[in-house]
C-alpha cells in the first residue's frame, strides 16, 4: 500500500519511493536541483515559498518543499509507527 505523506500546502508524495530528504543550501544540492529543473524532472511543491527541503525520489525526480527536512522525516516516522501499532494490535 502506498504511504502518502503531506509535504506542505496539500501536496503529498509516496513515502515508500523517497530516497532522501536534504537541505537545499549546499552547492552540490543547488546544482542537482538546477539540473533537474533543466531536464524537467523537478516538481516544485513550495507554492511560491522558499524551498527548505529537497526530496529525492527513486524515479530520479526531485521534489521541492517549503517544509523543513526534519518535519518531513517526522511525518514519515510517525506514519511508520502508526502502521506498526496497527499491525501489532491486529495480532
- Nearest residue to 24 (alpha-carbon basis) of 55, 53, 67, 66: 53
Query: pLDDT (tens digit, 9 = 90+) per residue, 8-60?
Result: 999 999 999 999 999 999 999 999 999 999 999 999 999 999 999 999 999 99
Query: pLDDT (tens digit, 9 = 90+) per residue, 49-89?
Result: 999 999 999 999 999 999 999 999 999 998 777 776 664 44
Amino acid at each position: 500500500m502506498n504511504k502518502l505523506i503531506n509535504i506542505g500546502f496539500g501536496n503529498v508524495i509516496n513515502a515508500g519511493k523517497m530516497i532522501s530528504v536534504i537541505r537545499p543550501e549546499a552547492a552540490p544540492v543547488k546544482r542537482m536541483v538546477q539540473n533537474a529543473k533543466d531536464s524537467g524532472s523537478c516538481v516544485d511543491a513550495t507554492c511560491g515559498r522558499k524551498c527548505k527541503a529537497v526530496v529525492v525520489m527513486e524515479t530520479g525526480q526531485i521534489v521541492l518543499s517549503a517544509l523543513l527536512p526534519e518535519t518531513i522525516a517526522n511525518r514519515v516516522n510517525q506514519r511508520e509507527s502508526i502502521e506498526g501499532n496497527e499491525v501489532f494490535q491486529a495480532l
